A and B are shown apart, each in its own frame.
Chain A
Amino acid sequence: MTLQFHPSEPNHVPPELIVDFDMFHVPPGLSDPTQIWHNLVREGAPKIFYTPRNCGHWVFLEYEDIADGYLNHEIFSTHQTPIPPIEPFPTMQPQGMDPPEHNVFRRILAPLFTPVAVKKLLPELHRRSAELIEPLVAKGRCDFITEYAERFPTSAFLHIMGLPQERLADFLRMANTFFRATDEAERAANLNEIYGELELMFRDKEKNPGNDVASVIVNARDANGHQHPWNDILSCGFLLFVAGLDTVTNTMASVWRYLAATPSARQFFVEKMNKPEALMPAIEELIRITSVANNPRRIAKDCVYKGITFKKNDRLLLVATLANRDPKVFNNPQTIDLDREVNAHVAFGVGPHRCVGSILAKREIMVSLQEWLKHMPDFWLADPQPPSTMFGGTVMGFKSLVLEWSKEAPK
């Protein structure tokens, strides 16, 4: 098989731009996994550098370049991007397509995740969040990751796709294997299982359309009035399955970890709990500071960017947490300021590939905070925590986060 998208040998990279850096390696003793990136800045790494790890990729350290990486799709493609490279790699619709082809599925999804569309989901999101949180209250302790942060986004996924809530255990298991398994055979079987479920779902929604996202995707028509290619429909379902789960899980993990350690922040949120307009800017600030998702790109053609030679198929990682703490753009960028007024962060990317589910993701966090703080306004980190729970990669986070609270009802 010809490897069409494989990077060439990095002979074009000058030695002064090479840094030995492994994005998957989180050394012990860091306060949180984003610090692997901020340490590079502190240590004076070049603002555009190349690491030979993970089959080689570039990293931008500054906001200006990272924003270019999101916006300039003629150089920085989202098509066939994985780091380390995998071929063949399934092209997810619309994320894995560059404009203008990208617009076909983007136009199907965009109306489904606007503020008004997401607002209609809120009552059911509250109900599902409460259903998961209420049984925890009397326990006084939980692993926030496995007992809430993984469950809620998966439950929300079932709702938006019009799948029955009884399937939660199956979809949790599939998601867990997808995000955690390292064994190649297990991963292949898992992909088959996910695609099998998506096939059944879309076939059902084709015959019995409902008021849900899956029905809209499968029954959408192209400019000639035809259904979109079946593989594209499946890969769009796959994108919605994988993109909205571990990103939300790990953002919530970082947010709850911060709240557990910061009584004044808990107080801040408790006071604003019923005022979404006041809550959202503070949630945006916590999203800026957590920024768990790093987005790979592939260089689309040989080119020179800011004096540096990039070769076609070189990989590049866009690290939002670096952009979001660039002192040229943010005042006191390393400080969490819940009253921050100006915060044009890029945690969801910018440009045509802006995370289509960003508004849903933020509302999932808001709903979860509201439901959690209603029952558990006071909670803290269990001591000790399980060892080495942090992980890096394209989504950074925690494998475990044990929280405790008083079992007595709040005053």
Chain B
Amino acid sequence: MKVSVNLEKCFGHARCEDLCPEVFATDPVEGKCVIKNSEVPPELEKKVILAVRNCPEFALQLSESEAEKS
């Protein structure tokens, strides 16, 4: 599973960082989401899905990783 952010839509609520700090951080200058590791480790998938569903701006998307596509 991969996760990405649309920075046009992110306005820095940081709900994702609260829910899964292992994957999400906030850029110290822009105040917007930074994804530390877009390939989500299996043990964090549930937390990342929750982070995506809790984004008030709908700025996060999930997709299949390369390995899953093949």
Interface residues of A (CB under 8 A from B): 110-111, 113-117, 277, 280-281, 284, 341-346, 348, 350-352, 354, 358-359
Contacts and interface: CB of A to CB of B under 8 A. Distances in A.
Contact of A342 (B13, B26, B53): B53
B7 to A, nearest CB: 13
A114 B13 contact: no
Contacts, number: 62
Given A345-B56, A346-B56, A354 B13 contact: yes
A364 to B, nearest CB: 15
Interface string B1-40: 0000000000111110111010001111111000000000
Q: Which 10 A-B pairs have the closest CB atoms?
A: A110-B31, A354-B11, A114-B26, A344-B56, A342-B53, A280-B18, A115-B14, A350-B56, A344-B54, A114-B31
A284 B28 CA distance: 23
A344 B11 contact: no
By size class, the interface of chain B is 20 to 34
B56 A116 contact: no
Nearest to B30: A110
Contacts of B27: 114
Contact of A113 (B25, B31, B57): B31
B50 interface: yes
Interface of B: 11-15, 17-19, 21, 25-31, 50, 53-58
A344 B55 contact: yes
Given A344-B53, A344-B56, A116 B11 contact: no
A354 B26 contact: no
Given A110-B30, A111-B31, A345-B56, 6 more contacts: A110-B31, A114-B14, A277-B19, A342-B53, A344-B56, A348-B56
Given A114-B31, A342-B53, A351 B26 contact: no
Contacts of A343: 54
Given A116-B26, A281-B19, A342-B50, A359 B55 contact: no
Q: For A115, A116, A117, A343, which residue has the most chain B Cβ atoms within 10 angstroms?
A: A115
Contacts of A358: 13
A344 B56 CA distance: 5
A343 B50 CA distance: 9
Contacts of A280: 18-19
B6 to A, nearest CB: 13
